[in-house]
A and B are shown apart, each in its own frame.
Chain A
Amino acid sequence: MTLAENLFENLRLELRRGCLTLAVLAQLRQERYGYTLRKALADDGLVIDESTLYPLLRRLETQGLLASQWREEEKRNKRFYRLTPEGEQIFAQLLQEWHSINASIQQTINTTVNPTL
């Protein structure tokens, strides 16, 4: 990997990190277990490694944003996650922030590309 590619990869991961949390919180408004969550995210175009997603769920649970429960489904014990009330509140705030940042960046890009606008 060249220096420029390495730099891009680091910046890309940095950019993705916060977005992944937001996407996971968004998906877990509905109860899911790890694998179905990963599939749902991938279906929406957001592929996440197992080694990133499953530990992230644990961290969000430790922070009180998710609650989990072991339950049997299709003859197999699975750990289901969903947002806690605190998680819902934080998710709403983060979503608002994300919309705001997105709009600002879009505005900046438009102004830079066509300054007369």
Chain B
Amino acid sequence: MTDEHPLLKIEDLAVSFPATDGSDRRVHAVSGVSLSVYPRQTLAVVGESGCGKSVTALSTLKLIPTPPGRHEHGHIWWSGDSDGGQPTDLLSLSEKQIRRVRGNQIAMIFQEPMTSLNPVYTIGEQILEPILLHQKAPRGQAVQTAIDALTEVGIADPEARLREYPHRLSGGMRQRVMIAMALACQPKLLLADEPTTALDVTIQAQILELLRKLQHERGMSILLITHDLGVVAENADVVAVMYAGRVVEYGSVRDVFSKPLHPYTKGLLASMPVLGDKRTRLATIPGQVPNPTNYPTGCPFHPRCSDRKDDPQCAAEHPALLEVREKHWAACWHAPGYDQAKATTPDLAYRMALQT
């Protein structure tokens, strides 16, 4: 297990945008994020809106418009480029090189299935596009691939669906088509940016079930971005909790859910409804996600923290992400054992791959 190499390794990634207040300051949407995805693993990135989850995923495919965005520092090492040679830094690739990765080795599905399909093309033409773009296959064979992909995502009568326009499909069907499009080129990694947020609950369950099944069959990895902890608990192997552009807790899904170390993670878990619970009001985390133009000094979470709000250290110094317990990282001064944290280096290379 230990000499296994991650498929994707994000190292100390920082992405900034110009501040909207007109000054020439730059706002860091993501700063110092490190995470890695192993083959056949699902990594869930969790956090409230605006904490940098999507920016992290978009950076992986260099989809952040630059300018105005800018990759300040960091690397995104990708080892999925066929022959298992040296990992390449995706951020250093040219536009032309990254286009060979997009949709081919790393595919992405988006939050909004209603608007993520081009209204003027049939389903078939849209699924064919990445296939014809990346694989030098003749059209007839590509059509067969598209039909297979549609069958695989559970769409009935795929030949007929190929000739239909997106407006005739429901949201769940469109998300299935998006998944079929993403999977048509057999990617090694699937970036799923809140794939179920716009769907109703029964369809959500079906789509997640489908993703699990496909992951199992294809042996691909998934980077799952979500704010739904229920989704995380059922689908993820490893969880990265993000807050204000940083990873604040990182560990296996079992560790994070049963023994959360960071008060933010505890707050998120506490605010989940529990089936059969008699409480009428759900617990909330007071306050709001801080505006990126104006992050508080020290730990960005300290103004909302219920644990030790008045600790001067929290307000003064930013806690680094340390390995507080065996293979369980947290960035909180008050995490039990943080002061003598076993590893002073936030080394994130090891992780257990659960539920194979």
Q: Do A and B bind each other?
A: no
